[in-house]
Amino acid sequence: MPTYVAVDLGATSGRVVNVTIDAAGITLDEVSRFGNQTIPMPGGGSRWDVDGLLDHVRAGLVGAAARTRLRSVAIDSWAVDYGLLDDDGRRCGPVHSYRSTRTDGVMADVVGRIGRDRIYRVTGIQFLAFNTIYQLASAQRVDGLASAASLLMMPDLFNHELCGSTTNEVTNASTTQLLDARSHEWSDELIDGLGLPRRLFPGLHAPGTLLGTIDGVDPVLDGLTMVAAASHDTASAVAGTPLDGDRPAVYISCGTWSLVGCELSAPITTPAAAAANVTNELGIDGTTRLLKNVTGLWLLEECRRAWDGEGRPNTVAGLIAAAAEVPGGRSVIDPD
């Protein structure tokens, strides 16, 4: 019975899970779970602790291999964030978090230069201030791209660290607001329009692509095949949802962000879609996930962080129990 190991990296936590598939269905065995927090930077920025996450991933993979024989490993993560590599394939510069203040005001400048309608017509992606396109425009202002030879989205940055692959998977690349929604290729029109170095954008691969084998991590893991997941975590979540193709269905994927949408065979980039600011992200098998980002459990995580800072430790279970004691309908909050 084959066992696959899935690495799921979220914006507040990550996990390594052994997955077995047989005639009875799918069985999940959680090997490890770990927190993920940003690190403050001077000037109000923040970055991800990539080395710390790598240590957790490696330890989780070793633990997964200790439980059973593994066939392959695949990684997904949150969207829009990226790492830069130099000519020798080494990380250069910090891996910034989308929560950083470095993109403040950048979206308005980029939209003013290129045009909102033009960007949406090409990409079909929702306008959010932290999209990769605005992160890169911010980095460009401070010459943060000068030493970079290529860009890898978060899942493929980890794939690179483990097996040396150097291409980007399309579902995560689609969230950059730099990918053509119809050709599923990088948009030279937008890249050139921003004056971004074309060298930063390596080739693309589809979910299911064999990326290589783990090398130099641990004797028990070296040689294990790495396969591309639908590397945007929402793309994987929707791929695993039993949507009925014969009738309309809507999903809600609830995490740090909540995503509300449907699965389509082609993007919708009409003026009405642009006015509603819905996004067209790529899914598996050439599908499009038409959706809207709404605030999710980040509200809870930020409350917990603030309370911890005040010396009021709390657990999710305790908060749920306390919330159950509060009469319903007392307050209405619209975080969006």
The rounded distance, in Å, linking the Cα atoms of 65 and 53 is 18
Three state DSSP letters for the chain: CCEEEEEEECCCEEEEEEEEEECCEEEEEEEEEEECCEEECHHHCEEECHHHHHHHHHHHHHHHHHHCCCCEEEEEECCCCEEEECCCCCECCCCECCCCHHHCCHHHHHHHHHCHHHHHHHHCCCCCCCCHHHHHHHHHHCCCCCCCCEEEEHHHHHHHHHHCCCCEEHHHHHHHCCECCCCCCECHHHHHHHCCCHHHCCCEECCCCEEEECCCCCCCCCCCEEECCCCEHHHHHHHCCCCCCCCCCCEEEECCEEEEEEEECCCCCCHHHHHHCCEEEECHHHCEEEEEEEECCHHHHHHHHHHHHCCCCCCHHHHHHHHHCCCCCCCCCCCC
Closest CA to 233 of 9, 80, 68: 9
Alpha-carbon distance of 86 to 74, in angstroms, equals: 24
Q: Is 233 a catalytic residue?
A: yes
**Quick one: CA torsion of 159, 163, 168, 170, rounded to 10 degrees?**
-70
First to last CA, the chain: 46
Q: Strand 72-77 vs strand 3-9: parallel, antiparallel, or unpaired?
A: parallel
Which one of the listed residues 233, 285, 334, 336 is annotated catalytic?
Answer: 233
Which residues are identified as catalytic? 233
